[in-house]
Chains A and B, each alone.
Chain A
Amino acid sequence: MKICTTTGTYTAHYGIREGYRVIREAGFEGIDWSLDNAWDYHKVIAAEKLENLSIFEKSQEEIAAHYAEELAAIRENGLRICQAHAPFEGFCYGRPEVTEYAISIYKNMIPFLDRLGVRNLIIHGMTKNEKMVDLSYEDTVRINLHMYESLIPELQKAKTLRVCLENLPTDNFILARGFWEGCCTDPHVAAEWVDYLNEKAGKECFGICMDTGHLNVIRKPFYTYVPVLGKRIFALHLHDNMQNSDSHLIPYVGAVKWDDLIEQLRAVGYEGDISFEIGAHVRPDRLPDALIPIFLGVVREIGEYFRDQIQK
């Protein structure tokens, strides 16, 4: 059970070597590798041809070369890549070819990350929002299951890597600061999908990455979510908010009920990592440089507290 943070904010601001040094010096043991920047979604949906938009279109050798320097910095700082975030969205309304493109990218990420010993790749599903007038809820189920099912052949070959679905909220475009439930927010549906996919794969290839902030904005208590999913929860995105915005704040400054989270994770015997997704808060345009290591240190210490309490 390692204490991890996302990486994108720090490598973007400090550069690769310095970014990982800052993470290590704060005491983190592992990372949630921010590979979500492996494509620029706006470019993907603006492109006439879905080509040359992501490094994961290339061969495994080219991908390995592209990330060689970063992987060396991760290794030098003694950080383990516990989980990685796939680029999103894998969906564009009225453009099914975007989903097919996303599937091809995710398929190519699996062997690359598996060779690195990564345990969980987090892939967002798609959620209907109010602008998608012709799309039914059943259509979204079909699109999501198609996307995850398409990855089964690669996952069956993987040694360590599994794919995690994530509970998502979706913006309400009518009500300011409003949200609706999104993909995998109903734990019964999420559990049904995970079980269906694993049965199809013939092994445990799929699980859930539970996002605490996403549950909080839709006012869903942990005691109605965690027990239903139980051991299907493989990974975490830990962050806080005030329920009016998905702000990705450090724990204990918002409305998330952390004691409830700890109690529920302990009750289901959670054994995954303690991974924070607080890059939107502990970031240089929000904090002075001098305070970033202090805030990262606070988060790591909270992580130790969480670990001790969950393992109690």
Chain B
Amino acid sequence: MKIAIQTETLAKHYGYEDAYGMMREAGFEAVDWNVDTSWDFDALVKAEKLEGLCIFEKPIEEVRAHYAHELSVLKKNGLEIVQAHAPMGCFCYKRPEITEYAIQIYKKMIPFLDELGVKYMIVHGVTKDEMMEDLTYDEANRISYHVYESLIPELQQAKTLKVCMENLPTDTHIIEEGFWEGCCSDPHIAARWIDELNKKAGRECFGLCLDTGHLNVLRRPFYSYIPAMGKRILALHLHDNMQNSDSHLMPYVGAVRWEDFLEEMRKIGYGGDISFETCAQTSKNRLPRRVTPVLLSAMHDIGEYFRKQIQG
């Protein structure tokens, strides 16, 4: 059970050497690698041809060369990549070719991350929102399921890598500060998908990355979500908010009920990593450089506390 933190926005704001050095000095043992920056979704939806938009279109040798420097800095700082975030979204309303493009990218990411020993790649599903007038809830679910199912052949060949779905909220575009449940926010549906996909794959290729902030904006208590998912929870995105915005702040500054979270995780015997997704908290726009290590260190200490409490 390693204490990890996502690599963005620190890597973007301070460069690899400074960012990964700060993470190591704060005591982090691992990272949630933000490979989600490997495409620009706005560029993707504007492109006439879906080509030349992501490094993962290239052969694996070129991908390795592209990330060689970053990987060497991670290694030098003793930071293990325990999970990675796939680029999002894999869906654009009325443009099904974007979903197929995303699937091709995810398929190529799997062997690359697997050879690095990464355990989990987090892939967001599709959520219907109010702007997608002709899309039914069932259709949105069918597209998400199709994305995950398409990855089975690559996952069957992977040594370590599994794909995690993530519980998502979606903005209401009508009410300010409003949210609706999004993909995998209903634990019964998420559990059913994972079980079906794993059965189809013939092994455990899929699980869930539980996002604490996303549950919080939906007002969903941990005790109604975690027990239904149980051991299917393989990874975490830990962050806090005030329930009116998906703010990605450090724990204990918002309305997340952390003691409830720890109790439920202890009960299901969670054995994955303690991974923070607190990009907005450590962003250069919010925090001066000098104070950044102070908050990183506090988050690491919170991680230690979480680990102790979960392990009982």
Q: In chain B, residues 216-250, which have Cβ atoms closer than 8 Å to a Cβ of chain A?
A: 242, 244, 249-250
B49 to chain A, nearest CB (A): 42
Residues of A close to B281: CB separation below 8 A: 252-253
Residues of B close to A302: CB separation below 8 A: 291, 294
Contact digits for A290-311, partner B, Cβ 8 Å, 1 yes 0 no: 1100110110011001000000
Contact A294 B302 (CB under 8 A): yes
Given contacts A242-B242, A244-B242, A305-B288, contact A294 B301 (CB under 8 A): yes
Contact digits for B284-301, partner A, Cβ 8 Å, 1 yes 0 no: 001110110011001001
Instruction: Tell me the bound Cα distance from A296 to B42 in angstroms.
Output: 42
Residues of A close to B291: CB separation below 8 A: 252, 301-302, 305
Contact B301 A281 (CB under 8 A): no
Instruction: Tell me the bound Cα distance from A252 to B291 in angstroms.
Output: 9
Contact B288 A249 (CB under 8 A): no
Instruction: Tell me the bound Cα distance from A192 to B90 in angstroms.
Output: 60
Instruction: Tell me the bound Cα distance from A259 to B252 in angstroms.
Output: 23
Instruction: Tell me the bound Cα distance from A169 to B204 in angstroms.
Output: 56
Query: Is A287 in the interface zone, CB < 8 Å from B?
Result: yes
Query: Is B93 in the interface zone, CB < 8 Å from A?
Result: no
Q: Which residue of B lies closest to A250 (CB)?
A: B253
B280 to chain A, nearest CB (A): 10
Query: Is B305 in the interface zone, CB < 8 Å from A?
Result: yes
Query: Is A312 in the interface zone, CB < 8 Å from B?
Result: no
> What is the size category of the interface that chain A forms with chain B?
20 to 34
Instruction: Tell me the bound Cα distance from A276 to B57 in angstroms.
Output: 52
Of A250, A259, A281, most B-chain CB atoms within 10 Å: A250
Query: Is B259 in the interface zone, CB < 8 Å from A?
Result: yes
Contact A291 B252 (CB under 8 A): yes
Given contacts A259-B288, A290-B305, A291-B305, contact A298 B252 (CB under 8 A): no
B229 to chain A, nearest CB (A): 24
Query: Is A288 in the interface zone, CB < 8 Å from B?
Result: yes
Q: In chain B, residues 255-312, which have Cβ atoms closer than 8 Å to a Cβ of chain A?
A: 258-259, 281, 286-288, 290-291, 294-295, 298, 301-302, 305
Contact A305 B305 (CB under 8 A): no
Residues of B close to A250: CB separation below 8 A: 253
Contact A291 B301 (CB under 8 A): yes
Instruction: Given contact pairs A252-B287, A294-B302, enumerate 11 new A-B contacts (beta carbons under 8 Å).
Output: A250-B253, A252-B281, A253-B250, A253-B253, A258-B288, A286-B252, A288-B259, A294-B301, A295-B298, A297-B298, A305-B291
Residues of chain A whose beta carbon lies under 8 Å from any beta carbon of chain B: 242, 244, 249-250, 252-253, 258-259, 281, 286-288, 290-291, 294-295, 297-298, 301-302, 305
Provide a sorted-by-A list of 28 A–B residue pairs whose CB atoms are within 8 angstroms.
Answer: A242-B242, A242-B244, A249-B253, A250-B253, A252-B291, A252-B295, A253-B281, A258-B288, A259-B288, A281-B253, A287-B252, A288-B258, A288-B259, A290-B305, A291-B252, A291-B301, A291-B302, A291-B305, A294-B298, A294-B302, A295-B252, A295-B298, A298-B295, A298-B298, A301-B291, A302-B294, A305-B290, A305-B291
